[in-house]
């Protein structure tokens, strides 16, 4: 289950996973992944693979889930089901020569192809020790759609990857106490 920090936790998990996989590319100065909003200049060296969260959406396939009920011995409560989120990331190489940038992209593709479901010990932060699973999928966007993302952040287009992470559950903070039925009156008169 994820509290309000689940979005930051997922972003950090993506960055940690990519940084670990990039460490094998060079013994001298291995590239690193970093969370970046791309508002300023990306500082290199070392070569970097920026991870930019550019969209958060609700997963329509997970709507209309039943309320979550607490189990005894705690006081019985109910709350809205978690909001299922889709997080969309732009992964972009910076620094180094074009072959280095292409190797960084290739390693990112390989990492999330080989391990498309992040769960168990791969999870950290508020998701650590949970049974959650993050599904990482390469999102096919047309060149026009990619150009619009770059246009929106007011940067010239760069070769990049678009990934979608689902389902990220954001727990509701609204909890309602459920009172047990103590007595019942049945009225047998016709209405």
Whole-number Å distance between alpha carbons of 26 and 56: 33
Number of structural domains (the chain) is: 1
Residue 136 lies in a domain: yes
Q: Flag whether 67 is in a domain.
A: no
Confidence grade of residue 53 (pLDDT, cut at 50, 70, 90): very high
Examine residue 103 and state whether it is found in any structural domain, yes or no.
Answer: yes
- Domain assignment present for 98: yes
Burial (CB count <10 Å: 0-12, 13-18, 19+), residue 108: buried
User: Is residue 130 a part of any domain in this protein?
Assistant: yes
* Mean pLDDT computed over 77-87: 79
Structure confidence by residue, pLDDT tens digits, 99-120 = 888 999 999 999 999 989 888 8
Q: Is the pTM of this model over 0.85?
A: no
Q: What domain range is 135 assigned to?
A: 6-62+80-173
Give the DSSP H or E segment for 101. helix 98-114
Residue 79 contacts residue 68 (beta carbons within 8 Å): yes
**CATH number for 167:** 3.30.2000
Instruction: Write out pLDDT tens, residues 147-162.
Output: 888 888 888 888 899 9
Determine, yes or no, domain membership for 74.
Answer: no
Beta bridge partner(s), residue 51:
35, 91
Q: Classify residue 166: in a domain, yes or no.
A: yes
């Amino acid at each position: 289950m994820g509290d309000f920090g689940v979005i930051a936790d997922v972003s950090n998990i993506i960055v940690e996973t990519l940084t670990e996989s990039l460490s094998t590319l060079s013994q001298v100065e291995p590239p690193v992944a970093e969370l970046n909003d791309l508002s300023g200049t990306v500082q290199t060296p070392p070569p970097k693979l920026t991870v930019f969260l550019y969209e958060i959406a609700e997963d329509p396939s997970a709507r209309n889930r039943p309320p979550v009920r607490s189990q005894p011995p705690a006081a019985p409560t109910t709350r809205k089901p978690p909001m299922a989120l889709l997080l969309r990331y732009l992964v972009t190489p910076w620094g180094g020569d074009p072959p280095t940038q292409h190797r960084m992209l290739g390693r990112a593709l390989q990492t999330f192809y080989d391990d498309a479901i992040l769960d168990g010990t791969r999870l950290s932060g508020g998701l650590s020790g949970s049974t959650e699973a993050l599904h990482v999928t390469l999102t096919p966007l047309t060149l026009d759609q990619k150009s619009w993302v770059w246009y929106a952040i007011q940067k010239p287009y760069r070769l990049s990857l678009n990934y979608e992470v689902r389902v990220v559950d954001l727990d509701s903070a609204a909890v309602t106490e459920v009172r047990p039925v103590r007595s019942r009156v049945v009225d047998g008169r016709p209405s």
